[in-house]
Amino acid sequence: MNKGFVSLVGAGPGDADLMTIKALRLLKEADVVVYDRLVSAEILNLIPQGITRISVGKAAGNHCVPQDEINQTLVVLAQSGRRVVRLKGGDPYIFGRGGEEALVLKKHNIDFEVVPGVTAAAGCSAYAGIPLTHRGTSHGVRFIAGHFHNDEELDINWDKIADPDCTLVIYMGLANLQTISDELVKAGLAATTPAAAIHSATTLEQDKVISTLSELPGAVTKAELKSPVIIIIGMVVALNNKLDWFQSQCETNEWETEYDGFDMVSTISH
């Protein structure tokens, strides 16, 4: 019997053109593709006919397939001699639980590889016109999980991350956005700090709201943004007016507000 092999592959944030050449090649060579909810239909359409597809999509508060069952599925498929592509949105090792799956494969002596993907932070920010770092504005960037396993209370050192010289990118933070906003302001980050919430970035369904830290939760509620959403907080968000190259491809509604000398634009694009 042929020995199975698993490729943990990052599909990127949604735009199929952002996939790596290796990721595309592996999709064409696979016997079976096990994919997440956040893998776009455009990317799934790249899987050739005849290759088995297994959906294990998970959403916050609605886990279609438990992680333990996903792990077992990968083990069983590989042990049957198949070439398995485990296709994940973004990057497997950035809030993708790829490390957990790799450890399970290692435990069962199953050969595997990890293929990086464009993580949501990089893809969403670029398509929203927001550089994650910018000379004189942001000297660093932090990736934060805004949703914990089993809906546990957020256990974050807010004082440590409330740094006005650093950009915060919060994954899976939509449900806890009001708490995130309140805690960061309480920790000393200015309520007027520019902030963005971006839905389905890099795709034609991209929607975004640009506001301030204290007002973002209300603006997101008004705009009715739905998951998946990336939240970006920091002075670099104020650059989106000048750098949003993707916006011209979408029909746009805008309203103008002011922020300490910056002309801020709160935008929902459809």
Active site residues: 36, 58
Long-range contacts (CB closer than 8 Å, 24 or more residues apart) made by 216-220 = 216/177, 216/181, 217/177, 217/178, 217/181, 219/266, 220/174, 220/177
β-pairing, 229-233 vs 166-171, is: antiparallel
Q: Which residues sit opposite 115 in a β-bridge?
A: 9
Which residues make Cβ contacts (< 8 Å) with residue 234, sequence separation at least 6?
137, 138, 164, 166, 167, 168, 193, 194, 195
Q: How far is CA 225 from the centre of its chain?
A: 15
What residue spans of the chain are helical by DSSP H? 21-29, 41-44, 67-79, 98-107, 120-127, 158-161, 177-186, 216-223, 240-243
Q: Any idea what the Cα angle at residue 24 is, between residues 124 and 33, rounded to 5°?
A: 95
Rounded CA separation 215/178 (Å): 9
- The dihedral over CA atoms of 43, 48, 52, 58, expressed in degrees to the nearest 10, equals 0
| Full DSSP string of 155-167 | ---HHHH--TTEE
Distance CA 123, CA 52 (A): 28
